[in-house]
Structure 1
Amino acid sequence: MEQLNPSDLKVILHSKRANVYYLEHARVMQKDGRVLYLTEAKNENQYWNIPIANTTVILLGTGTSITQAAMRMLASAGVLVGFCGGGGTPLFMGSEIEWMTPQSEYRPTEYMQGWMQFWFDDAKRLEVAKRFQLARIEFIRKTWAKDRDLKEYGFYLDDFNIQTALEGFEKKIPQMNKVGDLLLAEAAMTKQLYKIAATCTGVKGFSRNPELGDLANDFLNHGNYLAYGLAATTLWVLGIPHGFAVMHGKTRRGALVFDVADLIKDAVVLPYAFICAKERMTEQEFRAQILQKFLEHKCLDQMFEQVKDAALSSKNGDEA
């Protein structure tokens, strides 16, 4: 079999990469210049190829291991790796907060420099937090307006309750003077969206509790962690450390991952967690649905666009 080196692979921009993997009871290794994962079948072992040039994130769940040679190839291809519990939650370990990040001396510096120009100013940091929340609302509108599957379950933008939730939060954002107030208003909107999604899908008695163990809560947990993987990838590629959050708190070193993931979570993860719970999908079926919707609605592009705009507009504004 022909040997392949990571440098021989055609480079695919991270914002265009299609694959996020969650593996259980598998061994990840390098073989003949490729990264594979090995699963134990009843009578034989089976190998499956991981197309690393088109992969953003690998989550290693229960009963997994990885070789040093495989990590070397994944790092060369710019793939983030995280160890996690069953079903993708919680994240356990990584060298950059939760993630084992590829090491590269050639990541850009302009976005980090732009981020730092506003980050130490409370007022400017609040403005970026507001911008992220407005972008979040706009992405919900854009996604729900064109997603036919959502419309089949009654997610219509002209629905009074949906309009009330989005417009109510949108009107409050410019008046906010503290990040804490913005967080409270954001939580209230999300609570309204949970209620709307539960009504549309007929999920009765829903209460958001990550530890509850019902399908809707489990799917929300799982989908959110997939979104965190995309957010961590965005920040790594742009060279911005996870600790420089604009909204989620000064005591959580990985808080910027949560800020960036929020740009797309309510638009995609929230409604499909309820839809897939109603359809009694398996965890694997839910994951496939969410990843397909991430691609369909260009969620990674949305993250890159918003983070880059926030960093560069501040930098360009100061230069002006």
Structure 2
Amino acid sequence: MEQLTDLKAILHSKRANIYYLEKCRVMQKDGRVVYLTEDNDQKQYWNIPIANTTVILLGMGTSITQSAVRMLASAGVLIGFSGSGGTPLIAAGEVEWLSPQSEYRPTEYIQNWLAFWFDENKRLTIAKRFQQLRIDYLQQVWRKDKELQSYGFYIDDADVEKALSNCNDKISHSSSVTDLLTAEAQLTKSLYKIAAARTQHGGFARDHAGEDDANAFLNHGNYLAYGLAATTLWVLGIPHGFAVMHGKTRRGALVFDVADLVKDALILPWAFICAKEQMSEQEFRQQCLQNFTQHKALDFMFEAVKTLSLEGSQL
């Protein structure tokens, strides 16, 4: 059986796997975590490399044993219960993650975070920095991603430059979080319009309950980003309730803040592209995970939160 220290040998920011499982049983077997599937009266066991995994989403028709949860917790793997296809994310009736418990997580980041969080002006300053980093990351990804460019997504196109420039101006002049949320919503709406035009999705309207592929893929991809964000915050020891942008009465709000760092850059365009190409949900999910790895999304989230934690404590 692997030792506890071995299970955490790979840093979370470097781990490669996110699992979405349905219609199976997750269990511990011979010192490993496996999932059991049954097909035509045949049982098959599939290994989960937990030391290289960040998140496991358990979809419809799944069960998990206590011994498997214990091993996943020892490896620092977050567990989420979800509906079909990974959405909606549910546990105890609300957005929630089953976090591995450890008394030895770092304290420096939560202490730095709390040093500024209770001051509204300092919190606003960090919220602005979140939005600036979000735009910086989008520019970085779209500038070098040749596959995105093959579908017409260029960072120096006039409509893209205008949308980002307008948002930057609004961020710098925002005097409240409400102003920032308005600027964020307008940017995302502009990017929806740009992506719809590039992929011939005439008349697209964002509808979280929409059954068309583009809306379904946006929902699904966003939940994958939430998994990365929740992992980042758990590893750094910052509770999910200390948000700087989203509603501070919502327990998971900081997860949404951190996930927003990468959603526009990586999830939004590919939701439209994969819908255009009539890809399956599984193919879209694989594309998202490939994008996360290619553009080091988890690394970026870690560095952003660590940097902003330090900046905030020095305000």
Q: Which bracket does the TM-score occupy, shorter chain normalised? A: over 0.9
For residue 140 of structure 1, give the secondary structure of its aligned residue in structure 2.
helix
Deviations 1:102-134 (A, max 9, x none): 000110000000000000000000000000000
2:273 is aligned to 275
SS at match of 2:226: helix
SS across alignment from 1:59: strand
SS at match of 1:211: coil
Alpha-carbon distance in 2 for matches of 1:155, 1:4: 45
> Which residue in 2 is equivalent to 1:151?
149
Superposition deviation, residue 205 in structure 1: 1.5
Unaligned runs of 5+ in 2: none
Contact 2:54 2:231 in 1 (8 A): yes
Change in 2 beyond 3 A, CA 1:94/1:301: farther
1: distance between equivalents of 2:288 and 2:155?
20
TM-score, length of structure 2 as denominator length: 0.97
Are 2:261 and 1:291 equivalent residues in the alignment? no
The residue type paired with residue 85 of structure 1 is: G
Per the alignment, residue 4 of structure 1 pairs with: 2
State the shift of 1:92 in Å.
1.0
Structure 2 contact 199–273 (Cα < 8 Å) conserved? yes
* Residues 189-224 of structure 1: per-residue CA shift (max 9 Å, x gap): 100000000110111221000101100000000000
The reply on whether 1:188 has 2:192 as its aligned counterpart is: no
Tell me the equivalent position of 1:169.
Answer: 167
In structure 1, the partner of 2:227 is 229
Residue 139 (structure 1) aligned to one of 133, 137, 140: 137
3-state secondary structure, aligned to 1:28: strand
Instruction: Please report how far the alpha carbon of residue 10 of structure 1 lies from its aligned counterpart in structure 2 after TM superposition.
Output: 6.2
* Distance of 2:266 and 2:18 partners within structure 1: 16
| Cα distance in 2, alignment partners of residues 72 and 254 from structure 1 | 23
Q: Secondary structure at the match of 2:202?
A: coil
Unaligned runs of 5+ in 1: none
Cα offset, 1:95, TM superposition: 11
Please state whether the residue corresponding to 1:261 is helix, strand or coil.
Answer: helix
Take 1:98 and 1:203, find their aligned partners in 2: how far apart are those partners?
33
Identity rate, percent: 67
Name the SS of the counterpart of 1:115 in structure 2: helix
* CA distance in 1: counterparts of 2:8 and 2:138, whole angstroms: 33
Aligned Cα RMSD in Å?
1.4
1:42 matches 2:40: yes
Tell me, in whole angstroms, the C-alpha distance in 2 between the residues paired with 1:310 and 1:95: 31
Give the secondary-structure state (helix, strand or coil) at the position aligned to 2:19. Answer: strand
**SS class of match (2:35):** strand
Large movers: runs of 4+ above 2 Å: 3-10, 94-97
Secondary structure (helix, strand or coil) at the match of 1:65 reads strand
Measure, in 2, the Cα distance between the counterparts of 1:125 and 1:143: 27
In 2, distance between residues paired with 1:43 and 1:254? 41
Q: Could you say which residue in structure 2 is the equivalent of 1:123?
A: 121
Q: CA deviation at 1:97?
A: 5.4
